[in-house]
Amino acid sequence: MALTGWPDGPPLHPGRAIPARLDRLVCAISRAGGPAVDWGPLVSGRAAILGLRRQGRVSANGSCRLLRARDGWVALNMARPTDWDMVPALIGGPAGGWDALEDSVAARRADEFVSWARTLALPAAVVGERRAAEPPWTAAAVWPRADRGRPLEAMVVVDLSALWAGPLTARLLGAAGAEVVKVESVSRPDTARSTPGFYGWLHPADQQVVPLDFSSPDGRARLKRTLERADVVIEASRPRALEQLGAAPADLAGRPGRVWLSITGHGRSSPYRDRVAFGDDAAAAGGLVAWDGAGSPVFCADAIADPITGLFGALAVLHAVRDGGGVLIDLPMAGCAAAVAAAEGRGPAPAARPVAGGWAVGTTEVRQPRTPPPLP
């Protein structure tokens, strides 16, 4: 709540059903054989490390904005320096900053703008475009099943992902006893390394890291050998990236019981398979935003689709292992956000009032800290 709302106003409660859904999610992980965790520090952990604060329609990290279109709202995430090179093509005019983008969005329909942004490989979404599904993943049989009830302590998890969602899934599986091996490109290391505290929080010091040069035949061969011995593979690439390396699920031998977790922004199937997304725009796509008293959306927490997807990823893998594996799990971040935001609607979020030591919502005197809680 401390990360939701306008910077010069009180924090906003994102919706009473959302904490309850997150409670059920972490309970389900524990019942399925995973660790007992508190979702609060996981959701706000990065903000605590980076000192982020709520900024209304600007994401906590500053890269994403909620912009009004003619018929609704869109989220546009300029998370990479190269994204700004696409602005002239996006707006049909000279390069400009956020003011130019805001003017361009205001003159278009929301779906029209997002469709053109998607063509330019920019992370953009119509707020609330994704419908909730239960569960928010699908699993397709790829390899033979293994015997059910295999202990997680006997499994090797190979993590090809970066940033937040995939590494959090790997961290949770490691906490449940699995051996985790992180594979990292020597030319494109995990950008989370630029924040050592955040990286160290997600990656225990004893986690094995295997750096590989994916541009060399030897590096690609080592990558494939590493994946062949994996019981669980976690990746968050667009499908064509691993296909080009010869390291996609179809390229691996039929190891019984293997589980492949594919985390994407919007899904592996067309027309979504090459669509880019990050935590804030994926959350907006799933409708996981708060609405202020004037009917404007504001960001809910910090890139919240990332940690929520990490939690759902752990649950999906645990269920797959319980059922004998042999599957590829398609886990879209926008779908995870929609599952948590389901049926919240667009009513104004309850505003908090100050009380001693924090904030209170409604009449129950439930207190929330003024700043994100520290990491566990």
Q: Which among 201, 209, 153 is positioned nearest to 179, based on CA atoms? A: 153
Contact between residue 37 and residue 29 where contact means Cβ atoms under 8 Å apart: yes
Contact between residue 38 and residue 26 where contact means Cβ atoms under 8 Å apart: yes
Rounded to whole angstroms, the maximal C-alpha distance in the chain is 64
Kindly write down the DSSP assignment for every residue of 48-117, as one continuous string. HHHT----TTB-TTSSEEEEE-SSSEEEEE--SGGGGGGHHHHHTSS---HHHHHHHHHTS-HHHHHHHH
Q: Which among 160, 276, 161 is positioned nearest to 219, based on CA atoms? A: 160
Tokens, residue 198: 């955040």
Candidate list 280, 281, 302, 306, residue with the active-site label: 306
- Whether cis (ω within 30° of 0) applies to the bond prior to 88 is no
CA–CA dist 171, 158 (Å, integer): 11
Tokens, residue 147: 């015997």
Q: Which residues of 120-136 are buried (b: 16+ CB within 10 A; e: fewer)?
A: eebbbbbbbbbebeebb
What are the backbone angles phi and psi of residue 325, rounded to the nearest 5°?
Answer: 65, -150
* Residue 330 is among the residues annotated as catalytic for this protein: no
Catalytic residues: 306
